């Protein structure tokens, strides 16, 4: 009886010590079915989830490319959503467009010549206390943003974390493009592009 109690006491004392030693010396458990990071999905190279948040994934694609794939009616809704999630969602782009309107939390840009209102709604990322940029509707500006969603009914792309790159008082040179034709012959998937340096 006495020996059994001593064994139980020894086991109770040793168990936390083993856990502490393992906490200090054991490898962390490998997550099961961890989803691939955007870095891995876009470049084919392995990357951790923390790396994907620290390093935005830019793609080399213009708006005509995305317009043809997602905003025209050549593909079914399933085909569009599949391509969106695989190649475009949460990726960053660099574009140049004509500023159509300024809202309190977004900038509206035109890219297509036949558009009456706007093609891109860019949600801006301004720090608290930072003065808004002096922008003039009707002029062209370079900007970056992360693709958030698309609306093929209104032919509009929504971008978040938007930043307008530094430009002079007259903006940058630019022209509106012609809306592409509807087709099922699609362009190649976009390729990764180097990140944009911070402003």
Question: How far apart, in Å, are the Cα atoms of 113 and each of 91, 118, 131, 145, 185?
Answer: 25, 10, 31, 22, 23
In a 3-state reduction of DSSP, which class is residue 60?
Answer: strand
Spatial distance between the Cα atoms of 112 and 29, rounded to a whole number of angstroms: 51
More confident residue, 35 or 169: 169
Q: CB neighbours of 16 closer than 8 A, spacing ≥ 6?
A: none
Query: pLDDT grade, residue 169 (50/70/90)?
Result: confident
pTM, 2 dp: 0.67
Any idea which residue has 């990322």 for tokens?
125
Domain topology for 57-193 = OB fold (Dihydrolipoamide Acetyltransferase, E2P) (2.40.50)
Is 145 in contact with 93 (CB distance < 8 Å)?
A: yes
Lowest-confidence region among 56-70, 72-86, 101-115, 175-189: 175-189
Output the pLDDT for position 45: 44
**CA 75 to chain CA mean position, Å:** 23
Q: How confident is the model at residue 168 (pLDDT cuts 50, 70, 90)?
A: confident
């Amino acid at each position: 009886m006495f020996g059994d109690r001593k064994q139980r006491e020894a086991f109770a004392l040793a168990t936390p010590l083993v856990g502490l030693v393992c906490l200090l010396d054991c490898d962390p458990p490998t997550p099961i079915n961890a989803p691939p990071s955007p870095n891995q999905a876009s470049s084919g190279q392995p990357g951790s989830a923390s790396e994907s948040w620290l390093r935005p994934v830019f793609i080399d694609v213009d708006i005509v490319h995305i317009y043809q794939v997602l905003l025209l009616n050549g593909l079914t809704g399933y085909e569009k959503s599949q391509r969106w999630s695989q190649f475009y969602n949460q990726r960053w782009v660099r574009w140049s467009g004509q500023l159509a309107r300024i809202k309190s939390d977004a900038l509206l840009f035109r890219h297509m010549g036949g558009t009456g209102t706007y093609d891109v709604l860019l949600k801006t990322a301004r720090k608290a206390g930072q003065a808004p940029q002096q922008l003039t509707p009707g002029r062209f500006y370079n900007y970056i943003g992360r693709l958030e969603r698309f609306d093929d009914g209104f032919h509009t792309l929504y971008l978040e974390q938007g930043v307008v790159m530094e430009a002079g008082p007259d903006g940058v040179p630019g022209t509106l493009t012609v809306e592409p034709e509807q087709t099922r012959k699609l362009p190649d998937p976009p390729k990764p592009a180097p990140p944009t340096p911070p402003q």
